[in-house]
Structure 1
Amino acid sequence: MAIYVIGDLHLSFGVDKPMDIFGAHWVNHHEKIRKNWINLINHNDLVLIPGDTSWAMNLDEAMVDLEWVHSLPGQKILIRGNHDYWWSSVTKMNRLFEDIKFLQNNYFIYENYAICGTRGWICPNDYKFTEHDKKIYERELHRLKLSIEAAVKDGYKELLVMTHYPPTNDKLQPSEFTKIYEAYGVKKVIYGHLHGKESFDGGLQGEKNGVYYYLTSCDALEFKPLKILD
């Protein structure tokens, strides 16, 4: 059993939103993901999908994309991305599939790991951080704490966090998110959202103050799920 990650699938089987407008590497990207997924992942493995799973605008439209994820091997945990407008009540969604769980203000267990997380938001920066951004940023920090503290209260010490947004700004400066991770002893943090080489270079990756960070947008991973734990 192992934990894999891949984010920003940007599926659009139910809506007209082709990804190849963003470059030739996106042509039939879902087929690349499917091939790599099936070659790597077994039924007992866990796959973390940190947001932007579907371009659908509502849950009915998203079902064809979620069914596609359901058809692939492994257990899956999803969080919401900034483009997941279809996201509905997690109570309702968590009844849809036995192998897909939706994470929001809660946590899930995989062996001795607690999988925590929230969507996140842009971190304070020099070019755009409005009062509106500050409000959402603080709300997401609260949601992250709710998730982590629920796991800690139940006795879990091995913490893995997934967010959609990066944990820092593009200058890789410390944020309230990174402070939380360090304070609670989070082992690994995965995130997505960033696309394109220039953006990839602005994403925190590797070990920092005892926390290991992974950028897992599917194009950053060349559409191949990344194993982060055996």
Structure 2
Amino acid sequence: MTKRRSEESGQAPIRVWGLSDFHLHFATMPAELSFLTPAHQPPWLTNARKVARNWAEKVGPGDIVLIPGDASSARNHSEVQRDLAWLSKRRCGAMVLSPGNHDLWFGRMAGVSRILRPGQFAVDGNAVDLGPLIVCGARSVPTPDDPIPIDPKSEQVAETAYAKLKLALAEAISLRDAAGEPKQIAVLWHHPPFDRWGRPDPVVALMKDAGVTLCVFGHVHTKAQWQTVPQGELDGIRFACVAADSLGFRPRKLLELSPAVEADPA
């Protein structure tokens, strides 16, 4: 049997977008907005409106959106419900979330999976097969040489993060091998995988060994950071910062892939 090319089958290519760090928190709206005029509403709400407008202009119904962390500032599953509902109204074929340092609601995968809406996926030590693209990821940590440690047990935390990413990459490789056809692997890793001097974090070697082709991250929120954080290709991996404020709250186009098509009889 032979596979038809997507253009011959009339199927549009699947575009892959990235956007992170919009810090939704709709659970706080009643208290905050009861005494604030529209001009003084919380910044995250203003930013959410920008995201909604730009998302509608760019993302198609069959596209994939990668969200590497800090989509929500909710503290638990109860608070995050309205944020997930808001995300579910954004047009796309699939969206994949991974945890950031502000995603306190993002606990064990079993619990997270139960509250996701249709078309929403999450990765933290696992991988998902989205047709032409396999997406995996884990809760990230700052690079070892980060000048501002965020946890007194940072070494132990880092070891846990690396172990989870290894599990995610192993599952991604298994899914790719089982597919019997070439598929790209993308990694969601919230923190930039480089230290303050631009040297790669140990996770970069793990990604290289797994044949990863794309790594998306966010977390950085100043112009100086956006200008100095390494991006582009290294060791066959494309690194892209998708922190929303660095992009004017516009989804960043990362890939354009041919959709899977049915096989024709020989």
Correspondences of 1:62-211 after superposition (within 5 Å): 62-74=80-92, 75-96=94-115, 97-125=117-145, 127-129=147-149, 132-154=153-175, 155=177, 158-211=184-237
CA contact (8 A) 1:15 1:56 kept: no
Q: How far apart are residue 25 of structure 1 and its match?
A: 8.4
Q: Tell me which amino acid in the other structure corresponds to 1:177.
A: V
- 1:15 and 2:28 equivalent? yes
Moved more, 25-34 or 219-228: 25-34
1:38 counterpart (42, 53, 56): 56
Partner of 2:255: 229
With normalisation by structure 1, the TM-score equals 0.90
CA contact (8 A) 2:65 2:96 kept: yes
Moved more, 154-163 or 55-64: 154-163
- 1:55 and 2:97 equivalent? no
Aligned length: 225
2:246 aligned counterpart, secondary structure: coil
Q: How far apart are residue 209 of structure 1 and its match?
A: 2.0
The 3 A distance-change label for structure 1 pair 123 and 71 is same
Q: How far apart are residue 201 of structure 1 and its match?
A: 2.7
Q: Tell me which amino acid in the other structure corresponds to 1:60.
A: S
Q: How far apart are residue 169 of structure 1 and its match?
A: 1.0
Q: How far apart are residue 194 of structure 1 and its match?
A: 0.5
CA contact (8 A) 2:59 2:91 kept: yes
Identity of aligned residues (%): 28
Moved more, 112-121 or 156-165: 156-165
Distance 2:103 2:225 in 1: 20
1:116 aligned counterpart, secondary structure: strand
**Which structure 1 residue ranges, 5 or more long, are not aligned?**
19-23
With normalisation by structure 2, the TM-score equals 0.78
Distance 1:168 1:143 in 2: 18
Partner of 1:21: none
The 3 A distance-change label for structure 1 pair 131 and 93 is closer
Distance 2:217 2:143 in 1: 13
Q: State the superposition RMSD in angstroms.
A: 2.2
The 3 A distance-change label for structure 1 pair 27 and 147 is closer
Distance 2:22 2:135 in 1: 20
Structure 1 consecutive aligned stretches of length 4 or more whose deviation exceeds 6 Å: 24-27
Distance 1:117 1:48 in 2: 11
CA contact (8 A) 2:136 2:169 kept: yes
Partner of 2:246: 220
Q: Tell me which amino acid in the other structure corresponds to 1:49.
A: I
2:136 aligned counterpart, secondary structure: strand
Greater relative contact order: 1 or 2 (C-alpha under 8 angstroms, separation 6 or more)?
2
Q: How far apart are residue 83 of structure 1 and its match?
A: 0.5
Q: Tell me which amino acid in the other structure corresponds to 2:113.
A: N
Q: How far apart are residue 131 of structure 1 and its match?
A: 6.2
